[in-house]
Structure formats: C-alpha cells, structure tokens
Chain A
Amino acid sequence: MHGRGGQGAVTASRIIATAAYEEGKYSQAIPMYGTERRGAPLTAYVRIDDRRVRERELVHNPDISLCFDPLISLQQAVANDLKPHGQVLLNVPFSPEKSELAGNINIATVDATSIALETLGRPITNTALLGAFSKATGVVKIESVEKAIKKYFPGRLGDMNIAAVRKSYEKVSPWVPAKNKVAPKMQVDLNVGGYGTLKDVSSWRVFYPVVDEEKCIGCKTCWIFCPEAALEWKENNKPAMIDRACKGCGVCANECPVKAIEMKRVEGA
C-alpha cells in the first residue's frame, strides 16, 4: 500500500485487516518502520490468511498493490515485484488503459481524490480507495469495510467515510492488463524517508510555487522563510523554485507581501 504521510494509508491497512477478521480470517497490518513525515511517501503492508499470521518480514512480492496518491500512482515502483498477474489499484482520474505502468499485471483505477473532496472535504484518500478495493479485488466485502470503518471513525466522521467507500465501490473501473510489458529503465525511487539530507523531494508536492515576476518586488521575504532553502535567488533579483528541494508547503506564497506567488496544483495530483 503506497501513500504519503497524511493520507491515511496506515489506517487503511488496519481497516482492511479489521474487515478481514470480521469475515473470520486472520490478518496483519505492518506500517513501514522508520520515520513518517507529513507529505513523505510511505508504504504499509497487509497479509490475510485463514490462520494466525506468524510471518513478520515485510511483504516483498505482493498480490495486490494499492496507491493512495495520484502522483505515486504514476511511479513504476508501485508495480514492481508484484506476483505474476498481480493487481494494481491506482488513485488517478483516468481509465486504466491510460496507465503507463508496466509488467505482467492488471490495473484498475478510481478517482479517489475527487471522491474524498466530495465526501470528506479533504484529500484524505484512504477510505475513498477502500470501496474500490472491496469491489475490484473481492478480498473483503463492503459491509465488512463499513463495519471496520465504524471502529476507527465513530459518529459523523464514520458516516462521511462510509459515503466515500460506497462512492468508490460504484466508481472503480474494471481490471485491464497493462499495455506496457517492459518496465522503463529510469525509475523514481519512492523510498525517500529517514533522517539526513534527501536527494529529491519533488514527489512530496501536491502544490508548487509559481512566481509572477511582474508583481514581485524582490524583497526576499519568500526566500528568507523557506524552510528548505528551496528558492534560488536569481541575478534579476527574483526567486525561482529549486525543483528537487521544494516540498510545496506554501509558506512563500502565504508570506509574499504583494501576493506574487501562486501555489499551483501539480498536474494529475
């Protein structure tokens, strides 16, 4: 299960594990150990079996891969190492035929971000993907998912999440074999967690700053407040985003005294 900190992938893994137990199966939900940061890609794993799961190594060759994030859904890494004919369920606003993911895999898609925004008002996509998961894979029934959700989100919040589940159950696409069989050589490594300096955090962004050089007065306010030194100060006395360093927090746009920075949504996000 691939997502990013704040999207609820870990909670989703526990909801699936709970739903499986509701159906008389044993289950196990493992979060990727290490440091979880809001916005940073992360992985969680679920095992379901008829008896108590004792194996505790991470899942290296999954049957199913779930992607909670639209940008991560574009990365080949989420389809690698699947078992032959493995299933990849993506959160993207397009049909599975359009996915470039490669391999001996089947792909289904659902626009979980839009569903989450409609039902929850926030792009927390975990439950908005679980209905699609239930319908497409048949691993757990939608009733069990709903029961499990009530355990995690009581009251009104639970009802909103159940609405998201039902909507995604209806909207998920059928399975389609991947059109590409061979994976590209150049791939983005999703594993950018941990401590220290990171090579590239461009995958963290949902929004990115765009500077209107006409409006910009060159005051350096954006530059001084950037937590990542991700704004380069150019010779013309204007800022520019450093692609690999910007996490898309939006502090620069918020602080700009003349509103010369706009946070634009990354295409497909």
Chain B
Amino acid sequence: MSYEVMVGNKATAVGCKLARVRVAAVFPITPQTTITEYLSEIHASGELPGFEFVNAEGELSSQVIVQAATAVGARSFTCTSGPGLLYMHHPMQETASKRLPLVMAVVHRGVKSMQPDHSDLMSQQWQGWLHIYVENAQEILDTTVMAYKIAEDKRIRLPVAIGYDGYVLSYTAEPVEIPAQEEVDKFLPPYKPMPSILPDQVDPKTFGAGWGEGDPMKPWQMHHEAALNGETVIKEVFAEWGEKFGRTYGNGMIEPYRVEGADCVITAMGTIAGTATAAIDKLWADGKKIGLVKIRSFLPFPRKDFQEIAKSVGAIGVFDRSCQPGMWGPVYHQMRSTLYDEDKKVPIIGFIGGLSGKEVRVGDMYKIGEKTLKVAKGGKPEAPIQWV
C-alpha cells in the first residue's frame, strides 16, 4: 500500500487503473475534464498494459463506445458531468437494458449552472442504472474498484454510476491510500461477459430470432429485480472490501454517523454528508442528540435500513441537493414512500439546498438538525419542505 495527495478526479483514474480497465472512452467537460487527462497519461505511459483509450467526439459516442467494448468482454469506463450526462441520456437506457456492467463517474454539475448539485444524475433515475454517491477522494477510489465487482455480479449485471460533487471534490486534493495491485487483483477477478458475443463463443441459435417475441414486459421485470438485488450485493462487496483493505463505508448502502441514541436523524449525500458530520458533532456538544445517515446508494434505495432506523427515531430530516420543479426533492419522496407502510409514523421533513453550487455550510446543517429535532419533540415544522 502507498499513498498520494491527489484530487478526486485523479482518484477516479487510479481506481480505473487498479480495476484494470481495458477500454475508456471519454469527452472532456468541466468539472470532469481532468479524469480524461489522467487516463490519457496512464495510456501514454504504458503503465496499464493493453489499455485502449478513445478520445470520443462527444458524450453520446463515449457512452456507446464503452457499451460495445463491454459487450465484447472488455472492462470499460467512461465519465461525464451535467450537460454531458444529459447528452448521454439516449444510449444510457440501452447500456442498462442490455445489462452491460460498465462503470461511469458522474462529476456533478448542475443543469442551471456550472457549479455542482445532484440534478444531473437525479435526472437519470429511470435509466435502470445503480447510483452511488460518494463523499471524498478515498471513497471515490475504493468505490470505483468495488463498483465493477457490483456491476459484474451475476445477480446484477447492470451499469453503475458513481456521483461526486464537482470542484469541492473533483479538484480538491487530499491524501488517498492506494491499495496494492496484487491485492486488488485478488479482490476483483477479470471480467467475463454473459453472454459472449464473440463469433466463436456465441450460441448460433440466437441468430435470426424475431423482434418482439415473448412477453415484452419480462425484460422489465428482470431488470427491476436485478436492480433490487443491489441492496444485497452492495452490502456483500463493501463488507469484503472492509475485511481485505480495512476501510468501511457503513454497510455500503448507508453510512450512519452518531445515530445510536439519537432522538432524530438527518440524511445527506456526497460532500454535504461530510460537512454535516461537523454539524452533528456540534449539536451533540450542545446537548442535541441528532444523528446523520449518509445515503450512499440512491438506486436501489436503502429501504430496509431506513425502515430499521425509523423504529428508533422521532423524526427524519431529508436533505436534497436537487429539485424536480413541481415535485420537490427525489430523496424526500423515496423516504416517505419507504416508510409509508410502517406501523410507527415518523414525521419526515424535507430540505432543499446546495442547488447550482450554493455553498452548504456547517451552520446550515446545524439548523436543519435543530429543526428536525423540534419536530421529533412534537413541534410543528414551519413547512413540510423548506429551502435552505
């Protein structure tokens, strides 16, 4: 094991190298751009043997290129931000529908500003991918490697998007421990496509099959079930990583912070969850017992975990870094839907903040904690959903 002080985008590139990515197809867009440069350096230096690096002419093509490369059996990677992700929208559905297990880094950039929020990845909820949100450079590196193991698991066979905030993480340097290649190789075996489309390995009976034969809904059902399997597989893979490399991120689906004995919890994703831990410490120091649940996997949503947490807390304050105009925040809706059937009704209040890169400070999260605690103690919220 070694370490290096590196920016979030470099952690992504190093993660790709450790995962022995065979094909990367990329197109530059701020704040993702430097990933493309780090990957081109890895290619130019020859340090990753057999690595194919494609300078695509746009995000749509970069997505299609890694799709096709994954289909022939090459572990593949791409990355983008905000508008680039929206441009990928069309082929992204095909990546998931064809059950191609590639990994993509989404360096958050808002749709109304170049500054980050989660509106880019949140807008892709119906594409059938797994969505994991991470908080720091170490978590980026570790999750990039783990994401391949999750995506390629035969119970999943779906692409994984790893979302992290632009600038404050993508361009921010911090020390990152780099696991040894041999250890990573033991953790992540080479990728074998299922089924293969190589002419000498494919089943010739599949040629000439008619279009639209069979129940057209069956692939949807199977896709949905595979996505739900994420809850099991993500926990397994993260547990194994923890055992082998000594670093854990909660159970992989969620990462709780000082939840035990708390009167209520607030939730956050990505870098804001990190900032929130400082607010939580202050709240406890001030005698206010409030926990934080960092949501790592938004898709699938950690239903079981929150149903468990809801049993012991008096209120949940949900922080959304995106807003669907006319429908509020997506995490808020998921949370309410998740807990609707529970016998014990826990009040859930929503907070929307950090949109278009508006800075979310420790004090903001402190106030959110206080407001949630007030509701847990029987008080009325000022509004069911509030702008931070």
Contacts and interface: CB of A to CB of B under 8 A. Distances in A.
Complex: A in contact with B (CB within 8 Å)? yes
A195 B209 CA distance: 8
Contacts of B207: 197
Contacts of A121: none
Nearest to B211: A195
Nearest to A195: B211
B91 to A, nearest CB: 20
A194 B208 contact: no
Nearest to A197: B208
Interface in A187-205: 194-198
Interface string B186-217: 00000000000000000000011111100000
Interface string A26-58: 000000001000000000000000000000000
Contacts of B209: 196-197
A198 B210 CA distance: 8
A197 B207 CA distance: 9
A195 B212 CA distance: 8
A228 to B, nearest CB: 13
Is chain B's binding surface mostly helix, strand, loop or mixed? Answer: loop
Contacts of A194: 210-212
Interface residues of B, number: 6
Nearest to A34: B212
A16 to B, nearest CB: 28
Contacts of B210: 194-198
Interface string B209-251: 1111000000000000000000000000000000000000000
A196 B210 CA distance: 4
A12 B108 CA distance: 55
Interface residues of A, number: 6
A141 B118 CA distance: 63
B212 to A, nearest CB: 6
Nearest to B208: A197
Contacts of B211: 194-196
B367 to A, nearest CB: 53
B323 to A, nearest CB: 36
Nearest to B209: A196
A198 B213 CA distance: 12
Contacts of B212: 34, 194-195
Contacts of A197: 207-210
Nearest to A196: B210
Nearest to B207: A197
Nearest to A198: B210
A229 to B, nearest CB: 13
Nearest to A192: B210
A197 B209 CA distance: 7
A196 B212 CA distance: 10
Contacts of A198: 210
A181 B328 CA distance: 64
B213 to A, nearest CB: 8
B215 to A, nearest CB: 15
A1 B285 CA distance: 79
B205 to A, nearest CB: 12
A30 B104 CA distance: 43
Interface in A148-203: 194-198
A13 to B, nearest CB: 23
A196 B208 CA distance: 5
Nearest to B210: A196
Contacts of A196: 208-211
A197 B211 CA distance: 9
Most buried by B among A34, A195, A196: A196
B214 to A, nearest CB: 12
A51 B209 CA distance: 42
B203 to A, nearest CB: 16
B209 to A, nearest CB: 6
Contacts of A34: 212
B369 to A, nearest CB: 53
B156 to A, nearest CB: 29
A166 to B, nearest CB: 42
Contacts of A195: 210-212
A4 B207 CA distance: 27
Interface string A209-253: 000000000000000000000000000000000000000000000
A231 B212 CA distance: 29
A34 to B, nearest CB: 8
Interface in B250-269: none
A195 to B, nearest CB: 4
B328 to A, nearest CB: 34
B190 to A, nearest CB: 34
Interface in A111-146: none
Interface string A83-127: 000000000000000000000000000000000000000000000
A183 to B, nearest CB: 25
A42 to B, nearest CB: 16
A241 B210 CA distance: 24
Nearest to B212: A194
A197 B205 CA distance: 12
A194 B207 CA distance: 15
B208 to A, nearest CB: 4
15 contacts: A34-B212, A194-B210, A194-B211, A194-B212, A195-B211, A195-B212, A196-B208, A196-B209, A196-B210, A196-B211, A197-B207, A197-B208, A197-B209, A197-B210, A198-B210
Interface of B: 207-212
Shortest 9 CB-CB contacts between residues of A and residues of B: A195-B211, A197-B208, A196-B210, A194-B211, A194-B210, A196-B211, A196-B208, A196-B209, A194-B212
Given A194-B210, A195-B210, A197-B208, 11 more contacts: A34-B212, A194-B211, A194-B212, A195-B212, A196-B208, A196-B210, A196-B211, A197-B207, A197-B209, A197-B210, A198-B210
